Chain A
Amino acid sequence: DGGITQSPKYLFRKEGQNVTLSCEQNLNHDAMYWYRQDPGQGLRLIYYSQIVNDFQKGDIAEGYSVSREKKESFPLTVTSAQKNPTAFYLCASSIASSRSYNEQFFGPGTRLTVL
């Protein structure tokens, strides 16, 4: 079955720690995205990547970092510089065409809690 996997499902972080959220897709999609979801808010874009070894900041990139060394993988690191990291994080992917850029397929999410 093709899809997007995220791990772990739940993650707890102590203040001052960096943590990395995993996202893997086997849909052969070129574009991948990271979103943050907070209660009562829509999704906010953290980073996106159009192609391997390239990524761009989204609307709320401060305190986060990403890498795209393989087409299938787009890990997100939440650094200690992110002051309020407790949230639900969603990874998504899409094929790279002019209209399908925006039709995204989502993973099941990772809930990060800062202790």
Chain B
Amino acid sequence: AQSVTQPDIHITVSEGASLELRCNYSYGATPYLFWYVQSPGQGLQLLLKYFSGDTLVQGIKGFEAEFKRSQSSFNLRKPSVHWSDAAEYFCAVGLGGFKTIFGAGTRLFVKA
């Protein structure tokens, strides 16, 4: 069965430190991969997406993600976290057509 796993329910990093959020998926074909961010009480905003080609993709707000087929992973990274990055982050896998599977989310806390 297709699935998306975000192993960390929450992560705390210091402002200015680097960040990596993990995402693993289970899907037989090459998926469409997304990272979304959600501020409390708000909708989701697309950070970046991978469809094909270069496995390192750049997104908005200084985020990047790397697709590793051998590890079925699509981890999100940022070299220096800002307090405004505190939010919940969702990894999603598009299966083609209208089906998208979302991970359970990772809540990021940023400490001063």
* Chain A positions near chain B (C-beta within 8 angstroms): 4, 6, 31, 33, 40-43, 45, 48, 50, 56, 90, 92, 98-99, 101-109, 111
Mark out the residues of chain B between 76 and 111 whose CB falls within 8 Å of any chain A CB in the assembled complex.
90, 92, 94-105
Which chain B residue lies CB-closest to A3?
A: B43
How many pairs, one residue from A and one from B, have CB atoms within 8 Å of each other in the complex?
Answer: 65
Q: List 11 A-B contacts (CB under 8 A).
A: A4-B43, A40-B104, A42-B103, A43-B102, A56-B98, A98-B96, A99-B94, A101-B94, A101-B97, A102-B100, A108-B41
The answer to whether B104 and A104 touch across the interface, beta carbons within 8 angstroms, is no
Across the interface, A105 reaches (CB within 8 A) one of B4, B46, B49, B100, namely: B46
The answer to whether B102 and A103 touch across the interface, beta carbons within 8 angstroms, is no
Residue of A41, A99, A102 with most partner-chain B CB within 10 A: A102
